[in-house]
Structure 1
């Protein structure tokens, strides 16, 4: 459907990703959902072996030198395996790598990015804390300067990939007296002495991704493991919002696709009142809505990806990325809802994978910034754009196009 947007190289890459998807054993999917597999190292190793991680990064660091459109396509295809596969795929190879590629030193890229993209190491991003996730500047994890190193104490929770990570990207408070934007620093923290991971969560869905609590107790972190500048973790966090939210949205499309595919096939075979239920409007219209939402979601994703690829500054893409994350995740949850609804009771069982998909997708509108936070960002950016445009007066005065537009006595604002 969207092949017209892809180059031959991107289509070839898509076939490579689909070959990886076909490689994954059915039992791996089932075992992850039952927490028999707590972290899919075999899958990540295979993806790294096939050079499918971080396709938009420079070739010298292990990527393919491609773009965000390619990345979104990869994330969508990986997502068809299940939402959690794309989560663990993206956390290390997209989020952590992005921070180091954009802000790290060549030594850090050599030591941490190359082996991660090969599938030899695994990484997780540590952002959320027990007191909250959306309040980034409320971070209480602290790192104290000890000359040639910092000593890190604190804890993070709901960390996807924690169970299998060899190192962590950690935001910590390094200047307790500074204003919020200048108080935090981003560190690479190796898994070792003083780092404890607790795999404790009974998740509703998206299981098997190693989500856990990470506790740091007097962890020695060398100064060469600072990502970016001291006390400037906000700059790293700010650029991470594109891969976190755009990548999340793209993979949600992939995770929802199988639900629509399964439901469509079921409704063409299941009969009631002597005919396939697909012929009833009550069924067909719900399938049609789901197909429409997936296409609309994909249109938004690729438009936003093209915007980022075009070099539009991050502060201008902020609204589009936030809109994509909110619209796509909510639309895909509706796709799963419709799929289950048209299948009836059998869709609520594990005879078909729709119930697992519905459980998994519930995470999409919560993580990487809740959709309520997305709405706050959208509103903030929209009003900024409106006020800036009003000052330029480049458009027609639409307010004036009313019969009584000049009734000043009726236009009361205070």
Structure 2
């Protein structure tokens, strides 16, 4: 985030996060990319010891009582270390904890939030299934009510942190009636790793390796009633609020992950010579660097504006649109910035002499996970049209359609 937008407290926190990032061994990063390390337990444990996770949550539950504007700064700085580090950092501290803080009981917060933010346990969110991830209401995992507990059966996949999680945030169908209102058919559960919970780290990922991403299978798992998060049949309420940390957090950390690509390319182009001068003197190079810098600055501005909107508790529908716009714009802009960085470095950027190739691979996930960018476009369009019709006729804005020389031509304004 821009320095001039942060107060002294936020600036001090940024230095704490940068110190955490600086202390991560190079070999850990390389071993994760080669799948030699399946999950960065030590990194999250250290972040927890330093009280750097979940900074916007109340101090009572292990946070720092800060805001979303500060959170996007933290996520950007963690993302600098590598996209997968921000992924695992965010899944537990920003997604699962957010759901429990907003919808859970004090007992659930004590058991599942405090130790996670302290880096003592780990969590994963289980939404995506083999048949798809964007179709939330199409969930086929089932939980059968047995009186004092539920019995959970089903399968989830592409679950970040699956291999290391001590508990899982799981969406499951509790009303099998196909005629049931979809908004009342699903329930959210906190499921401890126990007998019947099977995980498998099996995916040959293009990038973002070492985050414990795997398949999770639930076979007759007994889940006590006190582990229902929120109310039975009200999983959509949980999911709806989690879209903010999922998508705004994703946007912020994507900026951080793209930032090193721009920095490396900038330094490289001021040293690499061709035709007797450094290549930053050629517009074909410097303009691509300029575009990358512009896209990252625009992305930060958008993240900050959306974070302020969330902190200000504006209308939920407008937040829904802004978060979706931010996720789509920022992830695509950052992928373009990393592309430019590789392009100006030429062939050496395509090798592992520099980390550009890893950054490009990792960032490809950004426009897919936490809701594809096509789904973001669908949400943006839907909410924008609703907003347009809501404000039409009640706003004080001037009707600019009439500012045309032949505006009063009904015979020309034919719509059918």
Task: State TM-score, norm by structure 2.
Answer: 0.99
Conserved 8 A contact 2:317-2:383: no
| 2:212 equivalent among 210, 213, 224 | 210
Structure 2: state its 5+ residue gaps.
Answer: none
Partners of 1:239 and 1:314 within 8 A in 2 = no
SS at match of 2:392: helix
Q: Per the alignment, in what secondary structure is the counterpart of residue 125 of structure 1? A: strand
Aligned to 1:108: 108
Q: Corresponding residue for 1:142? A: 142
Mapping 1:62-77, distance limit 5 Å? 62-77=62-77
1:301 aligns with 2:306: no
Farther off after superposition, 288-297 or 303-312: 303-312
Q: Alpha carbon RMSD of aligned pairs, Å?
A: 0.7
Aligned residues between the structures: 414
1:40 aligns with 2:31: no
Query: Which residue in 1 is equivalent to 2:165?
Result: 165
Runs of 4+ more than 2 Å apart: 313-316
Shift of 1:393: 4.5
Q: Deviations over 1:288-335 (max 9, x none)?
A: 000000000000001110111112133221111000000000000001
For 1:244 and 1:204, how far apart are their aligned partners in 2? 21
Deviations 1:193-242 (A, max 9, x none): 00000111000000000000000000000000000011000000000000
CA distance in 1: counterparts of 2:198 and 2:43, whole angstroms? 24
1:370 aligns with 2:372: yes
In 1, Cα distance between the equivalents of 2:138 and 2:328?
23
Q: How does 1:15-414 map to 2 (within 5 A)?
A: 15-177=15-177, 178-414=180-416
Shift of residue 400, structure 1, vs aligned partner: 1.0
SS at match of 1:85: helix
TM-score w.r.t. structure 1 length?
0.99
Q: Distance in 2 between matches of 1:276 and 1:209?
A: 39
Report the 3-state secondary structure (helix = DSSP H, G, I; strand = E; otherwise coil) of the residue aligned with 2:153.
strand
Contact 1:154 1:217 in 2 (8 A): yes
Query: C-alpha separation between the residues in 2 aligned to 1:403 and 1:293?
Result: 38
Q: What is the distance in 2 between the residues matched to 1:359 and 1:296?
A: 22
- Single out whichever of 307-316 and 364-373 deviates more from structure 2: 307-316
Q: Describe the SS at the equivalent of 2:81.
A: coil
